[in-house]
Amino acid sequence: MRSPGLLAAALCWTCIASADPLQHEFLLLPSAEAVGTFDRQAPVTQVTDEVLKLDSIFSLQKGSFKVFGEYLVSDHEGDLERFQLGWQVSSDTVIWIGRYHQPTSIWNHEHHHGQYLQTSITRPAIDEWEDLGGILPQHFTGVLVESSKQVFGDWRLHVAAAGGIAPEITSEGLEPFDLVHPSHDRQRLGYQARASLHPGEFTETGFGMIVANDKLPQVGPQTPEMVGLDYVDLRLVGVFGTYAAQSWKVLATAYYANAQLFYTGSEISDHFEVGYVQAEWRLRQELGVFARLEGSAHASDSTYLDLFDEFHRSRQLGGLRWDFARRQALTLELGRTHTLQGAFSDVRLQWSAAVL
């Protein structure tokens, strides 16, 4: 841990010594959500009735160096979600050190925690955050490099690669490394990479692939499913694509996951596939509709997914978003979800906003 510390100190010193002015930015993304469930046949539904959230994004920049972070406060928690020291190497490349959202979650890397910037209220189950029953690790502490390059004429290649301390598997689910209260448990690493091609510099349209290999240690008290578990070696490959027209957009993602569970004296290997398609259609400037289908295969046979009671193996939802004032929106969403143990339906209403 000495070298990253020295590197961070060197970065800070270069930043302070630079003659450029110190610039800052602050973005607030508040939201309030009410949820009702009905037709419940599942013991665990992962639904909280009311949620108030304030997502704060801040950046301090001096020349090519910046400090960037995201702090989320809700009526249930308060977490430093991202905290990154960045070096803008060139116009197209930035190197980050710190706690980041891993780049193989296409949804999270685009929207992060702010509700206002995503059209639907919920995110796909495969991209759910660790503390909300997510099955894939999302927060890592280490190094993230993001870059882009012009290729094949006007096309643009975007790449991101990262490596860092992976979340642990606990009886409460996945738990990422906490920068504010660092744990002294044994740590294991995870690596992720993503590449995508886009037909232009400013278009959302594009397609790409992801690959990840994360080692997740089991620590602390164990549930019956975890007895004897030492760690999980999770390998992920996936493809994704987005087509964005003037008034409508379709995005789709599919992942193949291979999980090797290492127990004391034995080893289990399993795999499962997950994916989703979301379509969004803007009826008028301020009014849009959306629908999403999520599905999975081999989920009920997976020993790895048995560790997560709340995983949604399939879901169908649809909704309406009304941008009723500058940077404010009301969203209504109706969904039907099948977990590994049952099913439930839910209706959600959300107010969200952005204050820059």
Q: Does 105 contact other proteins by CB under 8 A? A: no
Q: Does 290 contact other proteins by CB under 8 A? A: no
225 φ/ψ angles, rounded to the nearest 5 degrees: -70, -20
User: Looking at 42, 46, 66, 167, which residue binds other proteins (CB under 8 A)?
Assistant: 66
Q: Does 23 contact other proteins by CB under 8 A? A: yes
Q: Does 27 contact other proteins by CB under 8 A? A: yes
d(CA 4, CA 81): 20
User: Looking at 53, 106, 107, 112, which residue binds other proteins (CB under 8 A)?
Assistant: 112
d(CA 346, CA 38): 6
Q: Does 201 contact other proteins by CB under 8 A? A: yes
Q: Does 21 contact other proteins by CB under 8 A? A: yes
- Tell me the torsion sign for CA atoms 28, 34, 39, 45: positive
User: Looking at 31, 46, 83, 86, which residue binds other proteins (CB under 8 A)?
Assistant: 86
Q: Does 285 contact other proteins by CB under 8 A? A: yes
251 φ/ψ angles, rounded to the nearest 5 degrees: -130, 145
User: What are 211's strand-pairing partners?
Assistant: 193, 237
Candidates 113-121, 234-242, 305-313, 338-346: pick the segment binding other proteins (CB under 8 A): 113-121
Residues 325-344 that bind other proteins (CB under 8 A): 327
Q: Does 88 contact other proteins by CB under 8 A? A: yes
Give long-range contacts, CB 8 A cutoff, 24+ apart: 39-44: 39/343, 39/344, 39/345, 40/342, 40/343, 40/344, 40/345, 41/342, 41/343, 41/344, 42/337, 42/339, 42/341, 42/342, 42/343, 42/344, 43/309, 43/341, 43/342, 44/309, 44/310, 44/339, 44/341
> Please, what is the minimum distance in Å from the beta carbon of residue 111 to other proteins?
7
Q: Does 68 contact other proteins by CB under 8 A? A: yes
User: Looking at 31, 56, 61, 104, which residue binds other proteins (CB under 8 A)?
Assistant: 61
How many residues of this chain interact with other proteins, rule: CB under 8 A?
Answer: 34
d(CA 270, CA 245): 39
* Residues binding other proteins (CB under 8 A): 20-21, 23, 25, 27, 29, 57-59, 61, 63-64, 66, 68, 86, 88, 90-91, 94, 109-112, 114, 116-117, 146, 201-202, 285, 323, 327, 354, 356
